[in-house]
Amino acid sequence: MDPLVHYWLPLGWALYLLALSVWIVLQKRPPVSTLAWILALAALPVLGFLVYHWLGPVRIRRQQIKRRRSRVRLEHGSHEPGEALVGPQGALAERQARLVERLTGSAPLSASRVELLCDGEATFEALLRAVRGAREHIHLEYYIVEPDRIGHALREALIERARAGVAVRFLIDSVGGSGIGRRFLKPLREAGAEVVFFHPFRLATLKPLLNLRTHRKIAVIDGRIGFTGGINISDTQDERVRADAYRDLHLRLEGPAVNGLQQVFVEDWLYASRRPLRQHGLFPLLPPGQVAVQWLASGPDTPDEPIHRAMLQAIGDAERRLWLVTPYFVPTEPALYALTGAAGRGVDVRLLVPEQADTRLVTHASRSYFEDLLRAGVRVFEYTPRMLHTKALLVDDGLCTLGSANFDARSFRLNFELCVNMYGSEAITALERVVVEDFAHSREVLLPRRPGPLGRLAEAAARLLSPLL
């Protein structure tokens, strides 16, 4: 045998693997993720180095640095969003507020009005009404924007306002907005609106094509009215157009809390466009309200995983009730332990998920956890009428959370997400009514649950792939 093949190639491969392993280990990622990368790339000499360079966690590190630079520029170029005018009441709410402020720097702000919007019809009507009434600026940030009925209606409203001199800024995720093209956006831009794509695809930045998405849904009108939640700009969420439209929730707010929502948009806009906003009136002084609101912006640029940690804290603090609603239930190990632990200490823990998610893989992955949950005393419900897209958490009578984050590792660690904590009984009662109604249209999953051999195999395989979902 040629000595080159017999000695030097194995030695070279071993040295390559050692160097790659040291590089990966130094990233200090979770042990399972680290071992998975090492094993996966061991069989890819040279190519593995390139794959990890462009697709591995180091890419997230580069994005963190870029986001921090944007944040520093913003802090030196704009005024603060305002001070907390009301405080959360009760020990649970106070602990949650302190944790979120430490993780995000966002103190509770007050809302003079909080309106819960159920499904697409109510949300789109309220959004269009606010857009058509804009006088100074319109700021929109969405994961999915489709050139369908609601997409065209929103575009026409934005064009009319832009022509009237209103500053229109539209930030769209390049993956979620891939269905729209230049033809759709051309009249909007010609009217004077600014349209920017978040992490557009470039050969040199391949990773953002799949990961590091902005999953946020934000609308700010004149700095006085704000919208956020789980509803995208798509007819798939409009029950007037489709009988199988997603079941979802959105939020309309007024008052000083809108300044916090504006701050998130302004930072994202600066990061994506590299253009700071200098317009007067972005953070108006607004009369205080009675509902305490706190924003949780989370993403790969926030290594403390604020939404993940805040939810774990809330679950651990629950004493009477813990109701979780999510379309994608693929929990991290700490989250699974927290839920089963809460049920074990006598808390009324309920999980509401869709009977069929929009992908079979997610459905199988979610169901693979049901047996563990049920044996611990968690009550599991599957919403049957249509796809459930709501992301919400109710804890006792002191806290409710609503937003864009699913209960999975992708939302906790990879996507740019936005949730809002509300500490007032008015908001909690409104959300409770909706969730109770959804429970009434759901099927409770009971033990014993024994799928066939193929079903068990599908669930086990989906669970194995859960870190990628």
Active-site positions read 215, 217, 222, 389, 391, 396
Element (H, E) at 109: strand 109-111
Do the Cβ atoms of 343 and 380 come closer than 8 Å? no
Q: Confirm if 432 and 334 have CB atoms less than 8 A apart.
A: no
Concatenated DSSP letters of 389-411: ---EEEETTTEEEEES--EEHII
Question: Which uninterrupted H or E stretch holds 314?
Answer: helix 306-317
Q: How far apart are CA 188 and CA 170, in angstroms?
A: 10
CB 228 within 8 A of CB 142: no
Q: What gap in Å lies between CA 303 and CA 103, rounded to an integer?
A: 10
Amino acid letter, residue 339? L
Amino acid identity at 168: V
Other beta carbons within 10 angstroms of residue 243's beta carbon come to 8
DSSP per residue over 104-122, as a string?
H----EEESEEEEEEHHHH
3-state secondary structure of 274: coil
Does residue 169 contact residue 138 with C-beta atoms inside 8 Å? yes
Coil, strand or helix at 266: helix
What is the C-alpha to C-alpha distance for residues 248 and 343, in angstroms, rounded to an integer? 26
Q: What are phi and psi of 141, to 5 degrees?
A: -140, 120
Q: Which two tokens stand for residue 117?
A: 């919007």
Tokens at 243, concatenated:
């009988």
**Cα separations in angstroms, 172 against 92, 123, 149, 213:** 36, 18, 18, 10
| Closest residue by Cα to residue 421 from 17, 33, 193, 90 | 90
Report helix, strand or coil for 299. coil
Instruction: Tell me which amino acid residue 437 is.
Output: E
Cβ–Cβ contacts within 10 Å for residue 362, how many? 23
Q: Is the distance from CB of 267 to CB of 104 less than 8 angstroms?
A: no
Which of the 8 DSSP states describes residue 418? E
CA-CA distance, 374 to 370, in Å (whole number)?
6
